[in-house]
Structure 1
Amino acid sequence: MKAETFLRENITADRCICHINAGYSTGWCNESLENLLYAIEIRCRAKGDDVCFFVMTHRKHIYNA
């Protein structure tokens, strides 16, 4: 997980950074479920949040979440 690298190096990010995790989840669900889902990280340990937290929904709704 990318956040672990930031934590290990004592670096604080100014935004969510776990894009690979969001992209992997998006791709897996789209292929497996044949549905247009999109994941976005809204909380990230690298920027000081207690957990990395992702929201997944239909692409047309993602930025309204």
Structure 2
Amino acid sequence: MGEIFGGLPWWVKWIAVPVIALVVFGGLIASVVGLIIGLLFKVLVFVALVGGLIYVVRKFTSSSSSRSDW
């Protein structure tokens, strides 16, 4: 790889090649990032809903058992 970029200016390696890669693979990169963010959001919503359900169930079961103690 070093021989390919050996005689080229620095801006070709660090500016032109990444820009070309983004133009060519930009849609694919955006799709993958969108998919990952979507999955993380769904996992976060799932964890929040399960945590809320556990909280509500424990709240009601503890309050109903304390009522029977009266």
Same fold (TM over 0.5): no
Greater percentage in strand: 1
Which structure has the bigger radius of gyration? 2
Q: Which structure would you say has the larger RCO, counting Cα contacts within 8 Å and 6 or more residues apart? A: 1
User: What TM-score, normalized to structure 2?
Assistant: 0.28
